[in-house]
């Protein structure tokens, strides 16, 4: 009995060791985003609360917590409150299988990548339930747009993942990273790497694909009716999802916890350091894209997903498998 409770305690501590850093990095990511946008637009960004304004996001969270949580009178109350909770839960449970070093992972399961794909495809429920339960025009339109958008880009994400899996021969995330020890997949699979990052932008509803919350046409999209902490949960989930998709990119294409070159001073540094620094590089790309590109029109978005990415990734799967087959490079 004691060993069971001991294991349970260790498990809970392990979960906290993932969730707490993720939530803190969300706050720092919001700060980083505002600083990057400020730098791109020749402004200073937040610089009042704390040194260099680093405590700004924590102040914002406290402000959100003290506000009143409004429930629209015609909404479906249970689903209205449930939607932001679901979104945040889904963005956090995915961390159960993310390996941040060759040994440190909560659950090392055989089908880790499929689990991640499943959880990220459930993400659309939070948005669509929120839009429907609000019982209001703009949230509903935002939810419909988002459902169509996320399903469309999942297809190309699926094919990109298949290409990587063909090269690895395993669905286990640790195996995927370990097969990149000599060369990161971002080099031989460069087009798929680019497509994956663009699809990740669409999947997390980030600019230039943030049509579900397009403020010029839809007020704030699916969370128009949300206020206070329920809005805060959506906000938290969006940024947690960004970090998650960045970690997935790092695991699939940028060699996870491995240093760029396997030589002495670089491989002496702990793997977690490389993992975090790569995740932050990808996150910086997310913010950089936001500051640089204008928002897509909805038909352009759909055309990009179905008429360009889908055929391209499909053909690339065939090319990659044919290449590996004819040169005898298929794993096992």
Partner 1 sequence: MFLVGSFFLFAAFLITTCIFVIFSKNPVNSVLFLVLAFLNSTFLFILIGAEFVGIILAIVYIGAVAILFLFVVMMLDIQITTLMFNIKRYIPLALLFAGIILAEIIYLTVFKTSKDNLDTFIRSKNNTEQIGDVLYTEYFIDFQLSGIVLLLAMIGAIVLTHVYRPTIKRQNIESQNSTTAQDRVKLVKIKSGEGIKDD
Q: Which of 165, 156, 158 is nearest to 185 (CA)?
A: 165
CB 212 within 8 A of CB 145: yes
Query: Does 111 participate in binding partner 1 (rule CB under 8 A)?
Result: yes
Query: Does 28 participate in binding partner 1 (rule CB under 8 A)?
Result: no
Q: Which of 286, 317, 138 is nearest to 212 (CA)?
A: 138
CB 214 within 8 A of CB 65: no
Which listed residue (18, 58, 104, 125) binds partner 1 by CB under 8 A?
125
CA 184, CA 114: separation in Å to the nearest integer? 21
- At closest approach, how far in Å is the CB of 268 from partner 1? 35
Q: Name which of residues 48 to 87 contact partner 1 (CB under 8 A).
A: 79
Q: What is the dihedral of CA 291, 241, 229, 54, to 10 degrees?
A: -50
Query: Does 222 participate in binding partner 1 (rule CB under 8 A)?
Result: no
Query: Does 227 participate in binding partner 1 (rule CB under 8 A)?
Result: no
Nearer to partner 1, 114 or 219 (CB): 114
Query: Does 140 participate in binding partner 1 (rule CB under 8 A)?
Result: yes
What are the Cα distances from residue 43, in Å, to 46, 83, 282? 9, 36, 23
Which listed residue (40, 49, 106, 171) binds partner 1 by CB under 8 A?
171
Query: Does 124 participate in binding partner 1 (rule CB under 8 A)?
Result: yes
Query: Does 197 participate in binding partner 1 (rule CB under 8 A)?
Result: no
- At closest approach, how far in Å is the CB of 249 from partner 1? 19
Nearer to partner 1, 96 or 148 (CB): 148
Query: Does 144 participate in binding partner 1 (rule CB under 8 A)?
Result: yes
Query: Does 309 participate in binding partner 1 (rule CB under 8 A)?
Result: no
Which listed residue (15, 89, 93, 114) binds partner 1 by CB under 8 A?
114
Instruction: Count Cα neighbours of 93 within 13 Å in the Cβ-side half-sphere.
Output: 14
CA 86, CA 82: separation in Å to the nearest integer? 6
Q: What is the dihedral of CA 284, 288, 291, 293, to 10 degrees?
A: -140
Query: Does 299 participate in binding partner 1 (rule CB under 8 A)?
Result: yes
Q: What is the dihedral of CA 232, 16, 252, 176, to 10 degrees?
A: -160
How many angstroms from the chain centroid is the CA of residue 157?
12
Q: Is 214 helix (H, G, I), strand (E, B) or coil?
A: coil
Query: Does 285 participate in binding partner 1 (rule CB under 8 A)?
Result: no
Query: Does 117 participate in binding partner 1 (rule CB under 8 A)?
Result: yes
CB 253 within 8 A of CB 196: yes
Nearer to partner 1, 26 or 304 (CB): 304
Query: Does 115 participate in binding partner 1 (rule CB under 8 A)?
Result: yes
Nearer to partner 1, 104 or 125 (CB): 125
Q: Is 70 helix (H, G, I), strand (E, B) or coil?
A: coil
Binding site for partner 1 (CB under 8 A): 79, 109-111, 114-115, 117-118, 121-122, 124-125, 128-129, 132, 140, 143-144, 147-148, 151, 154, 171, 299-300, 303
């Amino acid at each position: 009995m004691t060993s069971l409770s001991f294991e349970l305690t260790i498990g809970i501590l392990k979960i906290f060791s993932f969730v707490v850093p993720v939530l803190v990095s969300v706050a720092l990511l919001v700060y980083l985003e505002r600083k990057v946008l400020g730098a791109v637009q020749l402004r200073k960004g937040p610089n009042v609360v704390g040194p260099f304004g680093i405590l700004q996001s924590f102040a914002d969270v406290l402000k959100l917590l003290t506000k009143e949580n409004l429930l629209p009178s015609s909404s479906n109350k249970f689903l209205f409150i449930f939607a932001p909770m679901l979104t945040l839960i889904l963005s956090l449970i995915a961390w159960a299988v993310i390996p941040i070093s060759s040994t440190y992972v909560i659950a090392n399961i055989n089908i880790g990548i499929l689990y991640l794909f499943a959880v990220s495809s459930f993400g659309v429920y939070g948005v669509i339930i929120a839009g429907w339960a609000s019982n209001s025009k703009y949230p509903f339109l935002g939810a419909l747009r988002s459902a169509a958008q996320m399903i469309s880009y999942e297809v190309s994400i699926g094919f990109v993942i298949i290409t990587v899996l063909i090269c690895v021969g395993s669905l286990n995330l640790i195996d995927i990273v370990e097969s990149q020890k000599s060369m990161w997949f971002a080099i031989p699979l460069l087009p798929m790497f680019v497509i994956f990052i663009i699809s990740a932008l669409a999947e997390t509803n980030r600019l230039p694909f943030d049509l579900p919350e397009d403020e010029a046409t839809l007020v704030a999209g699916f969370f128009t009716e949300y206020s206070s902490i329920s809005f805060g949960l959506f906000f938290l989930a969006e940024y947690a999802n960004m970090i998650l998709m960045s970690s997935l990119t790092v695991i699939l294409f940028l060699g996870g916890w491995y240093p760029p070159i396997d030589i002495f001073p670089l491989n002496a540094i702990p793997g977690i350091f490389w993992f975090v620094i790569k995740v932050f590089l990808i996150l910086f790309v997310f913010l950089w894209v936001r500051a640089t590109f204008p928002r897509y029109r909805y038909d352009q978005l759909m055309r990009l997903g179905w008429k360009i990415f889908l055929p391209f990734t499909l053909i690339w799967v065939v090319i990659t498998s044919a290449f590996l087959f004819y040169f005898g490079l298929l794993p096992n």
